[in-house]
Structure 1
Amino acid sequence: MIEIERKFLVASNDFKQEAIRSTRIIQGFLNTDKERTVRVRLKGDKGFLTVKGKSSNDGLSRFEWEKEITDEEAKSLLNICESGVIDKIRYEVQVKNHIFEIDEFFGDNKGLIIAEVELNSEHETFVKPGWLGEEVTGDVKYYNSQLSKHPFCNW
């Protein structure tokens, strides 16, 4: 239940040609406390409730628990979330042994594109595709919970 991931800005739209899947995601937060974030997500036609713990000092890892819920439950919970719902399309791109999840944001976060790669250990190596930009792992302003409160359009 420990999630290890690295985050990067995206330097070009070339990833879209390599995507094996794309899904629209609407998500909101029931709680954005840095000690425990509670997220509601509608991913395509599936709902999810996710609890994330505080990030490690380097931002590479944190506790994550997720449970699938019905889309009706997710829609109902989205109605009581804190303000600042996130709207994005997630593209999945396979690069060698890793899947990169690239989020293209809309609404108040339009223009922001972030790639994440999940790892099995903090020191695992991976191939960096040419469209991958600056690393922002551990930079709290790029967390979705923060983007919901302090959107990209206000930076």
Structure 2
Amino acid sequence: MEHLEIERKFLVLSDAYKQEATSQIRIAQGFLNTDPERTVRVRIKGDKGFLTVKGASNASGTTRFEWETEISLHEATNLIDLCEDVILEKVRFEVPSGKHLFEVDEFLGENKGLIVAEVELNHEDEVFEKPKWLGEEVTGQSKYYNSQLSKNPFTQW
């Protein structure tokens, strides 16, 4: 199937990733639909807008269909107004590690205190270098999905 996203997700042990980051950007995102079979996300990343559709995850939680397209900032702003209640806000740090790039999300607002790192892979059993600051793997644990964090924020756990 085309448009497969294969990623693993981890908690972060320390803020050492900040010294290794090559970029950081603020992200606001909302969900038009959070059904586990298909989520529809609107994201404002810096000064760009994106619309993303994700399918259900496979049994291991590492692989699922993902389709994304860039939309205008104006369109994204209008669509955010139509989203379900909670708009997630976070700062994303891009951190290279070996041949891979980790995206480390430091959540704000009702999810403040949660820091999650994701690495995209070409296949599920691909080997990658684990940075020292990488903690427990939470791949496939739905409570860490952004769509679920919008319904059940980290500060309420």
What TM-score do you get using the length of structure 1 for normalisation?
Answer: 1.00
Which of 131, 134, 137 aligns to 2:133? It is 131
Q: What's the CA shift for 1:131?
A: 0.2
Q: Match for 1:136: what amino acid?
A: V
- Tell me which residue corresponds to 2:81: 79
- Tell me which residue corresponds to 2:11: 9
- Tell me which residue corresponds to 2:45: 43
Matching of residues 1-150 of structure 1 within 5 Å: 1-150=3-152
Q: What's the CA shift for 1:7?
A: 0.1
Q: What's the CA shift for 1:73?
A: 0.4
- Identify unmatched segments of 5+ residues in structure 1: none
Tell me the percent identity. Answer: 65
- Structure 1 moving runs of 4+ over 3 Å: none
Q: Deviations over 1:29-84 (max 9, x none)?
A: 00000000000000000000000000001101000000000001000000010011
Q: Match for 2:118: what amino acid?
A: E
Q: What's the CA shift for 1:110?
A: 0.1
The alignment partner of 1:149 has SS state of coil
Q: What's the CA shift for 1:2?
A: 0.3
Q: What's the CA shift for 1:113?
A: 0.1
- Identify unmatched segments of 5+ residues in structure 2: none
What TM-score do you get using the length of structure 2 for normalisation?
Answer: 0.98
Q: What's the CA shift for 1:129?
A: 0.3
Which of 137, 146, 152 aligns to 2:154? It is 152
Q: What's the CA shift for 1:95?
A: 0.5
In the alignment, the residues of structure 2 paired with residue 144 and residue 150 of structure 1 have an alpha-carbon distance, to the nearest angstrom, of 10
Q: What's the CA shift for 1:24?
A: 0.2
Task: Kindly report the root-mean-square deviation, in angstroms, between the aligned alpha carbons of the 2 structures.
Answer: 0.3
